[in-house]
Structure 1
Amino acid sequence: MPPRSSSVLQLPRALTISHIVNPTTLPTAYALSRSYSTRKTPNYPGHVHLSVPERIFLGLGSALGSLINPRRADLIATCGETTAVPYFLPRLRNIMLRHPTGRRILRDRPRITSTSLNLPYLRSLPDNSVGREYVRWLDREGVSPDTRTEVKYIDDPEEAYVMQRYRECHDFYHALTGLPVVREGEVALKAFEFANLVIPMTGAAMGAVVTLKKEERERMWGVYFPWAIRNGVRSECVLNIYWEEELETDVDALRERLGIEMPPDLRNIRAEKKKAKKAEKRAAEALKMA
């Protein structure tokens, strides 16, 4: 008889202690998981079953790695998926099921891509419409809705869609709040998402505040964290927004309907600070030459 497979987590040979100390050297989580686990039949295309030890290992490793290097989108996605079950995603699904628009979103399962949204059409919409503000934000930040990682580590197909929907709507949250994709802006938006959705990964991402410069940390604690918590708690669940049906809506009217106030313009604040520092530097150089 062939030996019975062990349920104990077996680390791949390629994984060394350096991967634990420095998680940014981890290969993609999918490649890791395939190397040390026998898979069941997937529940949907791309789905990968994880055992409890695998989920814990990938969750901790990806959380640490994404904190060290916030540009590792694969680690951020893995952290989000491995820490959102068994409680948080079912909770969000139930919130959507209790809301008429949320139920329609779960039934229709729309996807947000550059094709489904027709970006040229959005550029033709009036100023201050949701669609125009969204595509203007995409163009200004140089990002695309087509880059969102597909969910793979969540077993329930409907819960997997909830996570995918959150992921694909993230840029709408940026456009709605005006927060840029710089690290400071991402930390502020993750704080808003945590207060509104209570997804563990978004709460963990707030820890990246320690990696900011002193001046940025002070702004975060004094301005953006208070704004994020206040607005995230009081506003409607942002997963219940059918963005595809709001593209022609006035963005200020949508903010008012949801109960979201605009934070101070972080891009302008950073630009003014940078301008002031350059002026101080020029003045100091001129004083030395005098």
Structure 2
Amino acid sequence: MIGGARIQLNGWQRTAVALGSAVGALLDPRRADLIAALGETTGQPAFERVLERMKRSPEGRAILTARPRVISTEVGHAWDLPSNTFGAAYARFMGSRNFSPDDRPPVRFMETEELAYVAMRARQVHDFWHTLFALPTNLIGESALKVIEFEQMLLPMCLMSVVGGSARFSDRQRRLFYQHYFPWALKAGVKCTDLMCVYYERHFHEDLEDVRQKWGIIPAPPPKPDGF
């Protein structure tokens, strides 16, 4: 999933892939492969910083050592956990949308195996973050989560996704995002712990509200009855 799919790029090739992926993702935001390629070709410095933070964190080092993968064979037990647990909440999130943890595209353009794993980990914990922050998977919810991801990892792709996503909003969606979700996301992304240094799979059995409190997670508040 990681090493066998990697492609080494020189500078101009990386730029070409980044530009092509950016244009393609703007034209069709559902192309997860293009969004992934954009994140990899523009995000190596950010992933290097994340890697160094993980190495300084006991739980982050445990992740780098064990290299857990968020795939169905590894997280399937979440479906059997008590309903109040983080793992069960994640299972409900995935099941209600007919999502599979196996659907994430492979990492192709990172220079080292270690960076490739960090990039894959960032990609695979995305649905954990949806669960923890209680964000929907519509365009507004994804854009709000990209704000948090940018604050956590400083990935240029996240900022570009917010700009591109908001360009597709209707006037009402734009007001809802910038008046309700955007201010919340700015606060939530700063207040929470370093989310890339959390070994989520070891906390599946814990109460959802307990882990939210432990990690400083502020769930997204529902919009007011009038929408704002």
Is the structural similarity TM-score above 0.5?
yes
User: Following superposition of structure 1 onto structure 2, how do residues 1-290 of structure 1 map, counting pairs within 5 Å?
Assistant: 44-85=3-44, 87-118=45-76, 121-207=77-163, 208-265=165-222
Residue identity in the other structure for 1:116 = E
Cα distance in structure 1, aligned partners of 2:101 and 2:222: 23
What one-letter code is carried by the residue in structure 1 that aligns with 2:21? S
CA–CA separation in structure 2 for the residues paired with 1:79 and 1:135:
28
Can you list the C-alpha shifts for 1:214-243, whole angstroms capped at 9, x where unaligned?
111111111111111111122111111111
Runs of 4 or more above 6 Å deviation: none
How much has 1:128 moved relative to structure 2?
2.3
Larger radius of gyration: 1
* Partner Cα distance (1:65, 1:226) in 2: 29
1:7 match: none
**Displacement after TM superposition at 1:82 (Å):** 0.2
Tell me, in whole angstroms, the C-alpha distance in 1 between the residues paired with 2:186 and 2:7: 34
| Letter paired with 1:192 | I
**Per-residue deviation at 1:199?**
1.3
How well do the aligned residues superpose, as a CA RMSD in angstroms?
A: 1.7
Conserved 8 A contact 1:63-1:76: yes
The count of residues paired between Structure 1 and Structure 2 equals 225
C-alpha separation in 2, matches of 1:82 and 1:229: 25
Q: TM-score, normalised by structure 1?
A: 0.74
Flag the structure with more relative contact order, 1 or 2, with Cα contacts below 8 A and sequence separation at least 6: 2
Question: What is the match of residue 276 of structure 1?
Answer: none
Residue by residue over 1:24-48, the C-alpha shift from the partner in whole angstroms, topping out at 9 and shown as x without a partner, is xxxxxxxxxxxxxxxxxxx931110
CA deviation string 1:86-139 (max 9, x = no partner): x21110000101100000100111111111112xx3223222211000000001
SS of 1:84 mapped into structure 2: helix
Give the AA of the match of 2:176: R
Contact 1:255-1:261 at 8 Å conserved across structures = yes
Whole-angstrom distance in 2 between the partners of 1:250 and 1:67: 38
Q: The residue matched to 1:253 in structure 2 has which SS?
A: helix
The one-letter amino acid paired with 2:210 is A
> In structure 2, how many angstroms separate the alpha carbons of the residues matched to 1:127 and 1:77?
32
**Inter-partner Cα distance in structure 1 for 2:139 and 2:27:** 12
TM-score by length of 2: 0.94
Distance in 1, Cα, partners of 2:156 & 2:118: 14
For residue 70 of structure 1, give the secondary structure of its aligned residue in structure 2.
Answer: coil
